[in-house]
Amino acid sequence: MKIRDFRIHSIAISDPPLRSSFGLHAPLALRTVIELESADGVIGIAETHGGEGPAKALESLRARVIGQDATRLFVSLADLRGQGEYRMALAALEVASLDLIGKTVGLPVHALLGGKVRDDVPFSAYAFYKHAWGESKYGEALTPEGLVTQVQELIADYGFGSVKLKAGVLEPDEEIETIKLLRQTLGTNVPLRIDPNCVWSVETSLRAGRALREELSNGGYLEDPAQGMADMAAVRAGLLAEGIETPLASNMAVTSFETLAESYRTDACQVVLGDHHYWGGLRAVLELGRVCETLGIGLSMHSNSHLGISLMAMAHVAAATRQLSYACDTHYPWQSAADEIVAEGRIPIVGGNVRVSDAPGLGVTLNYDNLEKLKERYSKSPIRARDDVAEMRQHVDPHWERRRW
Amino acid sequence: MKIRDFRIHSIAISDPPLRSSFGLHAPLALRTVIELESADGVIGIAETHGGEGPAKALESLRARVIGQDATRLFVSLADLRGQGEYRMALAALEVASLDLIGKTVGLPVHALLGGKVRDDVPFSAYAFYKHAWGESKYGEALTPEGLVTQVQELIADYGFGSVKLKAGVLEPDEEIETIKLLRQTLGTNVPLRIDPNCVWSVETSLRAGRALREELSNGGYLEDPAQGMADMAAVRAGLLAEGIETPLASNMAVTSFETLAESYRTDACQVVLGDHHYWGGLRAVLELGRVCETLGIGLSMHSNSHLGISLMAMAHVAAATRQLSYACDTHYPWQSAADEIVAEGRIPIVGGNVRVSDAPGLGVTLNYDNLEKLKERYSKSPIRARDDVAEMRQHVDPHWERRRW
């Protein structure tokens, strides 16, 4: 399975004006798609973060990728492990090599990972405060009521059985009110999670934890309320002191195996949000599952804006990870069908689930026409890195600063 | 890769009169060899513990094995995880299914595990106090001097670069003296480890740790000196209080992922001895590597008496486990070439290393003539379970009891 070609495609995809504590999503989100082609002409693909940085990191590995055997590609790059600029590149190459191996030998990626423990991978509705402009079918949502309408539409379209609110946007009391309104509207069987991306103080986090004690129980969690391991641990200790057992989830304090051990010692985080793009690939997420199980920590999955290749890669590893204890995040409903580069078409989310493919490899291949369109869109756009602050200043408030509550 | 046949072979192999704190090895050691045959006629093999218990556990799974796809066999048995009587059976089935998958698709097991990070897997000389009888080429070793002679012979035959002494047999001072004599004889570049299998008190353990402070440094360790997590932690704390950083290794206090977390909290063990036969298979050992790395714990590998199938399975997983930080244990030199059931012949250990096979699957197949001989030996022997105490009473001391020092 010698690799004879390595192609890197920088693409831009439409993105609606979603808000977070970091600012505003630009009209274009950037992704990178890679292809590994073997001497037999089999092609393995992967999708990762976009823009100049990720593409350059991948390009710099070309000489080490060409000529390498796909079954050894990932370990042959082990010396780059721990070098931050290669973190996502190595993961993308692992995914593409697993796709290539699977397509060559006729096995789905989940079989290469040890076998699927589930056919259907649960995903959570990912609700955002949102502006009205753009072409998304979902309208403005800048109030608790607007947000609830959005969630109802998402559930109607995809059947999601749990909901995550991207918070840190409105005043904390309004966000608390949003969750309370979601609970009232959706009933008690839909787990709720709220994620202000670390912009709350310990005090605000405790206030939210207290106010949402019932709403975040039954499978919900409070994600990254405060910044840093120490403040997360203080929130946890404060909540426990009041008898509130709402777990804290994290993909910002706990971002790696290294930080996970510290988190365990300080009890800063009870649910880790894994992400194969960040954590070192699909096998690393499987291993993360075992680490979490060993330490009594729950496992969920983080997402950035992405297309169907990433969604199916997430589905394969989630299907093979016995320890996955929460529905995964996905931005997929925010992307448009017209932008899908997967030749098999947009991947269905039914009943909140993605059915993992049993076809060889990831079970998806490239639609080269659409890929070309998105590459052209990338070429014609000046955007080379995500800058949600600039978008916010341009479209909403010229003096906007990320603030803490 | 549907499994159409499942064959279970109980065998008995020659074993020399090795001593441990548990007593005396019997002249026959028991193993179980399994074969999984696919509808295509490809055969996957594995080797595990022997006697009636392991064979019965495997046999009881027949209806769930036949007809299952090899790529899903292991996860299809996930409900039996955690049921002690199936622990080794599940691991054996995982190894055999990986061998079957690899032989079917033309990939070595290490490639299925993510890729080998090393070609040569280091093993340690496994030295035993030993009686003279039997057919082993190694003679009596019941004194420090006899043991040193044995180690010199093992090193001459296999080129081992590190040495483990199975202790808990002689008076602790004699065993300490043995290690000191080994250090004097072998020089400072050969890491030494000593394993009394938990029969030392905390005080004796501290005495040994103190006496062997220099001898167990430079890559050595003190393995399972005292019994149970609390006493292991007490030994560690006591040694650290005296500035002695000799790591404690364990395969007796730490026997599972569950016990590993407790060990981390109490610092009872700084090196885990993994073993795919016990820990849930090859993938579980890979995951153990990640858990150990995350927690800052070293990783070595445990062994029982075994033939070439187990040795090659150990080599595959060790080759793919980046975090392996110590040479592996193996009893292989104590088994006889005449008993080898691997058709490719006895697996070479050169320079202390086993070269992992790049052939499909485990890279070894069965010698059915030898297998039949060993099955016959099993049938004709009354032994159905290991009983080192009975052997000790029969051959050495009719009143022998396992003692603690």
Residue B371 to residue B391: CA distance in whole angstroms: 25
Asked whether residue A160 falls in the same domain as residue A54, the answer is: no
Task: Kindly state the average pLDDT of the residues B192-205.
Answer: 98
Asked whether residue A346 falls in the same domain as residue A306, the answer is: yes
**CATH number of the domain to which B88 belongs:** 3.30.390.10
Q: Which of A289, A227, A218, A276 is nearest to A247 (CA)?
A: A218
Question: Chain B residues with CB inside 8 Å of A101's CB?
Answer: 107, 111
- The residue of A74, A79, A285, A287 whose CB has the most chain B CBs within 10 angstroms, and thus the best one to mutate to test that interface, is A287
Q: Which of B106, B114, B135, B138 is nearest to B125 (CA)?
A: B138
pLDDT tens per residue, range B52-77: 999 999 999 999 999 999 999 999 99
Phi and psi torsions of A314, nearest 5°? -60, -40
Residue B199 to residue B206: CA distance in whole angstroms: 13
Q: Is A398 part of a structural domain of the chain?
A: no
Question: Chain A residues with CB inside 8 Å of B101's CB?
Answer: 107, 111
Phi and psi torsions of A218, nearest 5°? 60, 50
Helix H or strand E segment including B89: helix B87-105
Q: Is B240 part of a structural domain of the chain?
A: yes
Q: Is A304 part of a structural domain of the chain?
A: yes
Q: Which residue in chain B is spatially nearest to A257 when comparing CA positions?
A: B294
Question: Chain A residues with CB inside 8 Å of B290's CB?
Answer: 257, 284, 287-288, 290-291
Q: Which residue in chain A is spatially nearest to B1 when comparing CA positions?
A: A107
- The reported pTM is 0.97
pLDDT tens per residue, range B137-171: 999 999 999 999 999 999 999 999 999 999 999 99
Mean pLDDT estimate for chain B: 97
d(CA B174, nearest CA chain A) in Å: 39
Question: Chain A residues with CB inside 8 Å of B98's CB?
Answer: none
Residue A108 to residue A116: CA distance in whole angstroms: 10
Query: What would the two tokens of residue A157 be?
Result: 């379209």
Q: Does A241 touch chain B (CB under 8 A)?
A: no
Residue indicated by tokens 């697993």:
A98
pLDDT tens per residue, range A215-249: 999 999 999 999 999 999 999 999 999 999 999 99
The DSSP result for A193-233, as a single string, is: EEE-TT-S-HHHHHHHHHHTTTTT-SS-EEES-SSHHHHHH
DSSP B329: P
pLDDT tens per residue, range B338-362: 999 999 999 999 999 999 999 999 9
Q: Which residue in chain B is spatially nearest to A282 when comparing CA positions?
A: B114
Asked whether residue A99 falls in the same domain as residue A163, the answer is: no
| Residue A19 β-bridge partners | A24
Q: How confident is the model at residue A40 (pLDDT cuts 50, 70, 90)?
A: very high
Q: What is the pLDDT of residue B355?
A: 98
Instruction: Give me the number of domains chain B comprises.
Output: 2
- What number of residues does chain B have? 405
- The residue of B1, B40, B72, B75 whose CB has the most chain A CBs within 10 angstroms, and thus the best one to mutate to test that interface, is B75
pLDDT tens per residue, range A45-69: 999 999 999 999 999 999 999 999 9
Query: What would the two tokens of residue A191 be?
Result: 């787990």
Q: Is A149 part of a structural domain of the chain?
A: yes
Q: Answer yes or no: do B287 and A287 touch at CB < 8 A.
A: yes
Asked whether residue A124 falls in the same domain as residue A71, the answer is: no
Q: Answer yes or no: do B116 and A293 touch at CB < 8 A.
A: no
Phi and psi torsions of A120, nearest 5°? -110, 125
**CATH number of the domain to which B198 belongs:** 3.20.20.120
Other residues' Cβ atoms within 10 Å of the Cβ of residue B122: 18
Q: How confident is the model at residue B336 (pLDDT cuts 50, 70, 90)?
A: very high
Q: What is the pLDDT of residue B84?
A: 87
Task: Kindly state the average pLDDT of the residues B212-232.
Answer: 97
Catalytic residue among A25, A166, A276, A306: A166
pLDDT tens per residue, range A282-331: 999 999 999 999 999 999 999 999 999 999 999 999 999 999 999 999 99
CA distances from residue B160 to B127, B330, B345 in whole angstroms, order as listed: 11, 11, 20
Q: Which residue in chain A is spatially nearest to B281 when comparing CA positions?
A: A114
CA distances from residue B243 to A138, A170, A394, B236 in whole angstroms, order as listed: 65, 55, 61, 10
Phi and psi torsions of B55, nearest 5°? -65, -40
**Coil/strand/helix, residue A192:** strand
Range(s) of the domain holding residue B191? 120-355
Phi-psi region of B262 (alpha: psi -120 to 50; beta: other; left: phi over 0): alpha
Q: Is A391 part of a structural domain of the chain?
A: no
Which residue among A111, A112, A260 places its CB closest to the CB of B294? Answer: A260
Longest Cα–Cα distance in chain B: 62
Task: Strand B192-195: give its sheet, edge to edge.
Answer: B125-128, B163-166, B192-195, B221-223, B248-250, B271-274, B298-301
CA distances from residue A153 to A141, A291, A327 in whole angstroms, order as listed: 12, 37, 19
Asked whether residue A135 falls in the same domain as residue A99, the answer is: no
Residue B287 to residue B309: CA distance in whole angstroms: 22
Q: Is A387 part of a structural domain of the chain?
A: no
Pairing of strands A353-355, B353-355: unpaired
Q: How far is CA B128 from the centre of its chain?
A: 14
Q: Answer yes or no: do B72 and A116 touch at CB < 8 A.
A: yes
Asked whether residue A28 falls in the same domain as residue A155, the answer is: no
CA distances from residue A67 to A88, A315, A361, A373 in whole angstroms, order as listed: 21, 29, 21, 30
Q: Which residue in chain A is spatially nearest to B78 when comparing CA positions?
A: A117
Question: Chain B residues with CB inside 8 Å of A72's CB?
Answer: 111, 115-116
Q: What is the pLDDT of residue A84?
A: 87
Asked whether residue B128 falls in the same domain as residue B77, the answer is: no
CA distances from residue A15 to A20, A26, A304, A307 in whole angstroms, order as listed: 14, 7, 11, 11
Q: Does B279 touch chain A (CB under 8 A)?
A: no
Asked whether residue A129 falls in the same domain as residue A239, the answer is: yes
Angle at the Cα of B71 from the Cα atoms of B66 and B75, rounded to 5 degrees = 80
Q: What is the pLDDT of residue B173?
A: 98
CA distances from residue A237 to A201, A212, A233, A381 in whole angstroms, order as listed: 14, 16, 6, 47
Pairing of strands B163-166, B298-301: unpaired
Other residues' Cβ atoms within 10 Å of the Cβ of residue A384: 15
Pairing of strands A353-355, A120-122: antiparallel
Asked whether residue B13 falls in the same domain as residue B138, the answer is: no
The CA radius of gyration of chain A, in Å to the nearest whole number, is: 20
Q: Answer yes or no: do A78 and B284 touch at CB < 8 A.
A: no
Q: Does B294 touch chain A (CB under 8 A)?
A: yes
Asked whether residue B335 falls in the same domain as residue B198, the answer is: yes
Q: Does A119 touch chain B (CB under 8 A)?
A: no
CA distances from residue B254 to A203, A262, B12, B189, B330 in whole angstroms, order as listed: 40, 21, 29, 28, 19
Q: Which of B224, B301, B302, B290 is nearest to B263 (CA)?
A: B224
pLDDT tens per residue, range B121-134: 999 999 999 999 99
Helix H or strand E segment including A329: none
Asked whether residue A128 falls in the same domain as residue A80, the answer is: no
pLDDT at A28 > cutoff 90 = yes
Q: Is B115 part of a structural domain of the chain?
A: no
Task: Kindly state the average pLDDT of the residues B296-301.
Answer: 98
Question: Chain A residues with CB inside 8 Å of B288's CB?
Answer: 290
Pairing of strands B298-301, B271-274: parallel
CA quadruple A138, A141, A146, A148: dihedral positive or negative?
positive
CA quadruple B325, B327, B329, B330: dihedral positive or negative?
positive
Task: Kindly state the average pLDDT of the residues B165-179.
Answer: 98
pLDDT at B82 > cutoff 90 = no
pLDDT tens per residue, range A88-125: 999 999 999 999 999 999 999 999 999 999 999 999 99
Asked whether residue B27 falls in the same domain as residue B138, the answer is: no
Q: What is the pLDDT of residue A82?
A: 85
Q: Answer yes or no: do A290 and B288 touch at CB < 8 A.
A: yes
Residue B319 to residue A95: CA distance in whole angstroms: 21
Q: Is A166 designated active site?
A: yes
Phi and psi torsions of A81, nearest 5°? -55, 135
pLDDT tens per residue, range B108-118: 999 999 999 99
Q: Is B388 part of a structural domain of the chain?
A: no
Residue indicated by tokens 């993308």:
A92
CA quadruple A256, A262, A266, A270: dihedral positive or negative?
positive
d(CA B98, nearest CA chain A) in Å: 9
